[in-house]
Amino acid sequence: MQITQRKNALVFGGASGIGWATSQTLLDQGAQVTIADLRRPTEPGRLRYIACDVRDANQVCEAVKKAIERGPLDWLVYSAGIQHYGSVVDTPIEEYDFVQQVNARGAFLACRSAIPAMTRGGAIVLVSSVQALACQEGVAAYAASKGTLEALTRAMAVDHAKDRIRVNAVLPGTVDTPMVRSSAERFGGRDGLEQTLEQWGGNHLLGRVAHASEIARVIAFLLSDAASFMTGASYRVDGGLLSQLPVRL
């Protein structure tokens, strides 16, 4: 799939994980890509990097302004996210607020600033999670933030169809990213990082965790004209994780 018109893309959380893979995929397909992230990518290459804390409305707005120096914004991807473990009882209020600020409020701020800059229409993809639909233990703050993205996707699709802006979400299962590796190191115990990732992959019907590039290709498709009749929806990219009941006969 090749882009026929050069697109202007902005990826929040684009310095690592799914965001980085998405930025590379869009570049390879001919788009000009700006990434907004707290961290500078190791090898930005042709990517334009803007330092941005997504909790700060002014910094988010400035990132959009920098991106549209190249022209009207066509594509927005919100992939910034953090994980916190705990139930509602043992999650400190400050931690809950922090997760919401990065995962949900940051997406709101990004879309709020970007949509007026999408003067020729365009597409938005929010990176949610299967945890918005079904949860493991101890992910109350994270799941709540990802559920918010689900509702925000639908609301923006309704509000901005008249502006020729499509909005969709992707819901990955377990993906080999720095965030997931950090969790594997925390919970893997004696098994070791790679063995823990292998065990987690076994929960998926395809028997492995995803590569970030596999999620990126779905995001690129949803942004593209090939998905021109798709909006207001969420797409699981979970290796069959949620298709199987935990029942053994």
- In DSSP notation, 120-170 reads TBEEEEEE--GGGTS--TTBHHHHHHHHHHHHHHHHHHHHHGGGTEEEEEE
Quick check: 179 and 17 in contact, CB under 8 A?
yes
Looking at the annotation, which residues are catalytic?
Answer: 142
- In the 8-state DSSP scheme, what is residue 104? I
Torsion of CA 28, 33, 36, 42, to 10 degrees: 40
List, in sequence order, every residue forming a beta bridge with 169; answer none if it has no partner.
Answer: 126, 234
Task: Return d(Cα 186, Cα 239) in angstroms, integer.
Answer: 23
The beta strand positions in the chain, using DSSP E, are 8-12, 32-37, 48-51, 75-78, 122-127, 165-172, 175-176, 210-211, 233-237
Calculate the CA 247 to chain-centre distance: 31
| Type of residue found at 135 | C
